[in-house]
Amino acid sequence: MSDSALKDLNLAQSAELEKTKDSSAKSCITKPVLNGNKCNNTEENAPPVLPDAVTNGCEAGNADVEYIDSESLTDLEDAGATLSTLVARLDSKDWVMTCEALNNVRQLAIYHKDRLQELLEPLVPLIVKSVKNPRSAVCKTALMTCADIFKAYGDLMVDSIDPLLVQLFLKSSQDKRFVCEAAEAALISMTSWIAPSALLPKMQPYLKNRNPRIRAKASMCFSKSVPRLGVEGIKEYGMDKLVQIAATQLSDQLPESREAARKLALELQAFYEKSQASSSGEVDDAPATSPDADAGAESWEAFCQSKLSPLSAQAILRVTSTTKEGVAVVVTSTPPKEGVTVGC
């Protein structure tokens, strides 16, 4: 082959290669999340590209992700059209579309609560799927969605909350802070808007979970929910059952579980003594050194000894005989395990 022919062949191959590169680059461009609402904060750089985040064989580019406060969400222009495609978009492989659909769920829960309620049953598994998504942007948006639907539907979420609980406990104890905070907010919403009488039986099995972080989060949420029962609610749920739970958690390996158990034990003691004082006509605010207060303490001691093993009763009484200031010192002197935040 002549030198001229070889030169022409090389030029043709170079031109074809440049054309292929341009086409490939264009196919890999992704659009940012679009939302007409004012955003609270933005994740400038999306998380590292995952194997499933691929477009036409190329890695998807980074996109700005908007995390919108509930107060900043506006109403939808066409709720009916949004509802008609909501399930399909939540189940989409396009993570950008999934995030938009999750924000639509939040908007519908706020502005069209009754219309969205009809879709709750198929929606919850898809929200759980998004919470489990390895892409942090999808996970956080799904957690924000959980907080909004707990607030919107309250006790109506009880029957479908089981698959959400374990994920909320896990996500609230992971190392990614912005995901952890969103999960914490969802747990706060859950314990605030769902009646404790319905929620406590759902959380109780997780107090014995093999994962210590799940136990810790469940313990903290459980202890925060018990006071909302009130005196009569605690009686109905079972004071003996609750004090046994507190005694068990006092020996847990994580300090967060033990702290929650201490708080629960103190709450139970206060409720028990208030109940005893009310039934006997005693004054609730009797001085700590008065005979009435001593009698109340003895009644609590007798109750614990009758319902618990000697070692468990001793542990509960040791906690409840300590002043609240002393308990606070003990709790704060033990640093929480990394990745597990104190609070619910």
Could you give the CA distance from residue 146 to residue 191 in angstroms, rounded to a whole number?
12
Confidence of residue 248 (pLDDT cuts 50, 70, 90): very high
Q: Are 29 and 56 in contact (CB under 8 A)?
A: no
Strands 58-59, 41-43: parallel, antiparallel or unpaired by DSSP? unpaired
End-to-end, the C-alpha distance of the chain in Å comes to 78
Share of the chain above pLDDT 90, in %: 64
Q: Give every CB contact of residue 118 below 8 A, 6+ residues apart in sequence.
A: none
* Residue 95 structure tokens: 């993570």
Q: What is the mean pLDDT of residues 77-89?
A: 95
> What pLDDT, on the 0 to 100 scale, is given for residue 253?
92
- For 66, the 3-state DSSP assignment is strand
Q: Where are the domains of the chain?
A: 30-151, 224-334
Burial of 121 (C-beta count, 10 Å sphere; 0-12/13-18/19+) = exposed
Q: 177-191, 273-287, 304-318: which has the minimum mean pLDDT?
A: 273-287
Q: Give every CB contact of residue 122 below 8 A, 6+ residues apart in sequence.
A: 87
pLDDT in tens, 277-301: 877 664 445 454 444 444 444 579 9
pTM (2 d.p.): 0.72
Strand segments, DSSP code E, in 58-209 are 58-59, 65-67
pLDDT surpasses 90 at 39? no
- Pick the closest to residue 61 from 30, 35, 106 (CA basis): 30
Q: Are 127 and 142 in contact (CB under 8 A)?
A: yes
Q: Which amino acid, one-letter code, is at 133? A: N
Could you give the CA distance from residue 163 to residue 145 in angstroms, rounded to a whole number?
15
Q: Which amino acid, one-letter code, is at 127? A: I
> What pLDDT, on the 0 to 100 scale, is given for residue 9?
52
Q: Give the up-direction half-sphere exposure of residue 237: CA atoms within 13 A in the CB hemisphere.
A: 27
pLDDT surpasses 80 at 24? no
Could you give the CA distance from residue 249 to residue 224 in angstroms, rounded to a whole number?
14
Rg (CA), the chain: 28
| Other Cβ atoms closer than 10 A to 108 | 26
H/E element holding 82? helix 79-90
Could you give the CA distance from residue 40 to residue 279 in angstroms, rounded to a whole number?
51
Q: 38-52, 130-144, 201-215: which has the minimum mean pLDDT?
A: 38-52
Residue 65 bridge partners (DSSP): 43
Which 8-state DSSP code applies to residue 223?
A: H
Q: What is the mean pLDDT of residues 5-11?
A: 52
pLDDT surpasses 50 at 27? no
Burial of 301 (C-beta count, 10 Å sphere; 0-12/13-18/19+) = middle
Q: What is the mean pLDDT of residues 71-90?
A: 95
Q: Give every CB contact of residue 37 below 8 A, 6+ residues apart in sequence.
A: 66, 68, 72, 73, 74, 103
pLDDT surpasses 60 at 50? no
Query: Which residue reads 């978009």 in tokens?
Result: 89
Strand segments, DSSP code E, in the chain are 41-43, 54-55, 58-59, 65-67
Could you give the CA distance from residue 142 to residue 196 in angstroms, rounded to a whole number?
24
Confidence of residue 57 (pLDDT cuts 50, 70, 90): very low
Could you give the CA distance from residue 141 to residue 67 in angstroms, rounded to a whole number?
7
Strands 41-43, 54-55: parallel, antiparallel or unpaired by DSSP? unpaired
